[in-house]
């Protein structure tokens, strides 16, 4: 329910935005390395709020670190496979 003078916030179809974060629309599959770079970039956005005690940022940071570790392993495996083929 909107009260008196409040205007509804317009929504965009290609991204969902919050004051500090944006979630891009689904894209074509990326390489593991590109995915890792994107996760690392997002990690940086959660570090400062974590210092202030923001529990949501802390949990998101933990999940992102776990995701980054998995992607690092997958990148290393891709690199090893690639070097064996050459």
Q: Which residues contact 17 (CB under 8 A, 6 or more apart)?
A: 23
> Does a structural domain hold residue 37?
yes
> Does a structural domain hold residue 70?
yes
State residue 61's pLDDT score: 94
* Whether pTM exceeds 0.75: no
> Does a structural domain hold residue 75?
yes
> Does a structural domain hold residue 54?
yes
User: Is residue 23 scored above 90 in pLDDT?
Assistant: no
> Does a structural domain hold residue 22?
no
Domain coverage including residue 77: 30-85
Number of other residues whose CB lies within 10 A of the CB of residue 57: 19
> Does a structural domain hold residue 17?
no
> Does a structural domain hold residue 76?
yes
pLDDT tens across 33-72, in order? 999 999 999 999 889 999 999 999 999 999 999 999 999 9
Q: Which residue has the higher pLDDT, 16 or 33?
A: 33
Q: Give me the number of domains the chain comprises.
A: 1
> Does a structural domain hold residue 81?
yes
State residue 30's pLDDT score: 84
pLDDT interval class at 86 (50, 70, 90): confident
């Amino acid at each position: 329910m909107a009260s008196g003078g409040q205007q509804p916030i317009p929504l965009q179809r290609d991204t969902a935005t919050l004051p500090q974060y944006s979630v891009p629309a689904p894209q074509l599959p990326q390489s593991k390395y590109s995915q890792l770079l994107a996760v690392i970039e997002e990690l940086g956005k959660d570090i400062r709020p974590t210092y202030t005690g923001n529990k949501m940022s802390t949990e998101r940071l933990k999940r992102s670190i776990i995701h980054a570790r998995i992607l690092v392993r997958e990148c290393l495996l891709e690199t090893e496979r690639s070097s064996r083929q050459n």
